[in-house]
Amino acid sequence: MAEKIISIGCDHAGVEHKAQITAHLIEQGWTVINHGTDKTDSVDYPDYAHPVAQDVEEQKATFGVLICGSANGVCMTANKHQGIRAALCWQTEIATLARQHNDANVICLPARFADIPLCIDMVNAFVQTEFEGGRHANRVGKIACQA
């Protein structure tokens, strides 16, 4: 991977998670594009999920990280983008498999159900795991809707 650029966003439930994950990623040499929010005032998660998905879709970032209370809303939103394969992860092994088997490019984290150390472990696993290809490539090729 030539450039280590990652796009990150969250709603009000994920502010502290995002801050800690961002700091960790910067320590690891990543350039982080922060799409907010940085406040705990109630916001609408699609306003933050769409810009992250767009960064990944337009190859401005290698990966995306999205955080909300359950991770369902940001995951659903990101997956509306044709070039996105967003994975809702709650265990490190799931984050690894999302990359290895599904070539996921956005990880979605549930702030209300996964603590910060676990989320950092999941992000590490996600960005360090390569897509396995092989038998999985044909399956991944069938994910996108045909226009």
Listed by start position, the domains of the chain span: 5-141
**Measured between alpha carbons, how far is 60 from 7 in angstroms, rounded to an integer?**
8
pTM of the model: 0.96
Tens-digit pLDDT profile for residues 14-44: 999 999 999 999 999 999 999 999 999 999 9
Asked if residue 104 lies in contact with residue 53, where contact means CB atoms within 8 angstroms, the answer is no
Looking at domain 5-141, its CATH class is alpha beta
Active site positions, annotated: 68, 101
Asked if residue 102 lies in contact with residue 80, where contact means CB atoms within 8 angstroms, the answer is no
Cβ atoms within 10 Å of 74's Cβ, excluding its own: 32
**Measured between alpha carbons, how far is 74 from 117 in angstroms, rounded to an integer?**
20
Tens-digit pLDDT profile for residues 41-58: 999 999 999 999 999 999
87 phi and psi, to 5 degrees? -120, 130
